[in-house]
Structure 1
């Protein structure tokens, strides 16, 4: 079967090649891959910055944002041939750490977890893969290939859960939310905020193209300036860029008792001026909180599946800028001005 593989930490090593059929030890459920999404993590792996091959191997099958169709499933698994499914990315560490031992493997504490398409476990950008039922999440059939958006939606589902859990330390009735960044993660975070009945404000740099239109279509508000010029003391901020100045801008202008959830990963190496004393004083006196959030557990995938099932299909379709066939995978890396989410179609 064909697969997109790469030699991690080696730039320019990616290629579509013939690989063996998926190993039985990966699970009894056989899935035909329909499509995989391309995100920043994939680009880092392809550029040689990141990634780990499975033990004893030099190459890794890429792809962690997936949508596929079940071909084989054992009786009693809750799955049947024809079901649309998304494969969960992370697997618990074998030790296990205290969190992995109780099924909270997205909070693994020793770093020995594996991740499909990223860390020591082949991903989903192959014509077929195998998986155990507990790591396959069913998707509403009406979503079709738009189910490829489920994995990034799971990331923001977890972010919203974190905000609500932390806010719930006291009476928490959020009304206004800010999302920084209008990429796929930011737009999906805005979707989940609107579905919660919040007044949502999205901040990004571009002034035209699909992003402002997608935000407006949600009934949310799009801005290009500083937070304080548009929103007074939001209750929740979901930060989706990793840009240091935006992170501190969000923290500085948070409302009393509010929560900032950081989902973007900063590159580091840049310095910014911050009045740390003033920031500390405001956060302490106003009971504010900042939390980092990464990856997702099965319940977040299920929450994401529910959110996508309720979403307007035409709006979701607007997130997918381009679809390229597997053999033309390099075209998916060539960033175009109006790109939001680019998808590689694996099934012919």
Structure 2
């Protein structure tokens, strides 16, 4: 069996292993044939040796956490052979903490959770994998070409659920959403915003390529420049870049009683001259809220599957700008101009 692996925290250790062991029975009762694995920034950082943790007693980590597969066998009867399925990435810690104890492992308090392809669990960039029924998410059969987008969509589904929970702390009727960043997370955030009936604006630095057309195809408005150049006062702002200046501008941009949700990850070490007092004054006087959101639990994966099922298939497929066969696996983990979502095709 083939598997794409790394030596965790060792730069440039990416390897295709041709004789990787079959998935162990303890991984789960459901045996799945892998169809595709999405590649994201987390994978690139693991390949660069920034982080990653192999399963206990193993030296190498199978990477890939954005999964799509077809069921080969399920003795539990939860799914059936031929069903399309994805697997939840994060598993609860063994203690468990109060959140993991109620299946909110995305909100783990002690950091002892595990994650497929990232931390302590093998990933999905291998020909076959197993999953426990509670972590198996069935997909509509029409999503065979785009179901690999389920994991990033689950992240966005959680963000929107939390935005709405916070927003409803008072009378709230949001009308305008601004999304900063038109990568996969930003575009999917815009998709879910349009599905909620909001007027959507998307800000990105790209002036050419597929992003402007993808935004317009949603009925949304595409902007370039800075956050302050966008001439709207959003009720919701979903920040998807992690760029420090954009993050700070976003917190100042949202309208009264608005909600800013931070989903992008910033790198440390950059000092910015910023009027923190003015930000404090704005947040307090306008009753604004700023929240961070990462990962997703099983409920959000179900919400994401519903959102993809309602979306235009051709639009979703346009997000996948490069499909790389397993034989050319290394090129999937290098950045190319115009990339939005790169997918490793395990059937090719």
Shorter-chain TM-score bucket reads over 0.9
Using the TM superposition, give the Cα deviation of residue 229 of structure 1 relative to its aligned residue in structure 2, in angstroms: 2.6
Q: Which residue of 1 aligns with 2:222?
A: 222
Shift in Å, 1:228: 3.0
Provide the C-alpha distance between the structure 1 equivalents of 2:100 and 2:344, rounded to a whole number of angstroms: 32
1:271 shift after superposition = 1.2
Distance in 2 between the 1:76 and 1:146 partners? 25
1:1-348 equivalence runs, <5 A: 1-17=1-17, 18-77=19-78, 79-348=79-348
* Cα distance in 2 between the residues matched to 1:280 and 1:84: 48
Task: Give the 3-state SS of the residue equivalent to 1:268 in structure 2.
Answer: coil
Partner secondary structure for residue 36 of structure 1: strand
Structure 2 Cα separation of the partners of residues 145 and 56 of structure 1: 36
Give, in whole Å, the separation in 2 of the partners of 1:103 and 1:331.
36
C-alpha contact (below 8 Å) 1:33/1:128 kept by paired residues: yes
Per-residue CA deviation, residues 315-339 of structure 1 (Å, 9 max, x unaligned), is 0111000111112111112322211
Are residues 300 and 231 of structure 1, via their aligned partners in 2, closer, same or farther at CA, if it must alter by over 3 Å? farther
Q: Secondary structure at the match of 1:145?
A: coil
Which string of whole-angstrom CA distances, capped at 9 and with x for unpartnered residues, describes residues 262-319 of structure 1? Answer: 0001011111121111110110111100001000011111111111111111101110
- Give unpaired runs (5+ residues) of structure 2: none
**CA RMSD, aligned part only?**
0.9
Uncovered stretches (5+) of structure 1, i.e. residues with no partner: none
| TM-score of the superposed pair, with normalisation by structure 1 | 0.98
The alpha carbon displacement at 1:68 in A equals: 0.2
Q: Is the 2:186–2:240 Cα contact (8 Å) retained in structure 1?
A: yes
Contact 1:67/1:145 (8 A) holds in 2: no
Secondary structure in structure 2 of the residue aligned to 1:237: strand
Checking the alignment, whether the CA contact within 8 Å between 1:232 and 1:255 is kept in structure 2 is: no
Q: CA deviation at 1:231?
A: 3.1
Displacement of 1:226 in angstroms is 2.3
What secondary structure, in the 3-state scheme, does the structure 2 residue paired with 1:329 have? helix
Contact 1:3/1:16 (<8 A) preserved = yes
CA distance in 2, matches of 1:282, 1:123: 43
Three-state SS of the structure 1 residue aligned to 2:274 is coil
**When the two structures are aligned, how many residues end up with a matched partner?**
347
Q: Deviations over 1:87-108 (max 9, x none)?
A: 1000000000010011111000
**SS class of match (1:20):** coil
Q: Find the aligned partners of 2:169 and 2:77 in 1 and give their Cα distance.
A: 40
Give 1:232 deviation, angstroms. 2.8
Is the 1:257–1:288 Cα contact (8 Å) retained in structure 2?
Answer: yes
CA separation in 1, counterparts of 2:171 and 2:151?
Answer: 31
Matched residue SS, 1:98 = coil
Select between 322-331 and 152-161 the one with higher mean Cα deviation. Answer: 322-331
Does the 8 A contact of 1:320 with 1:341 survive in 2?
A: yes
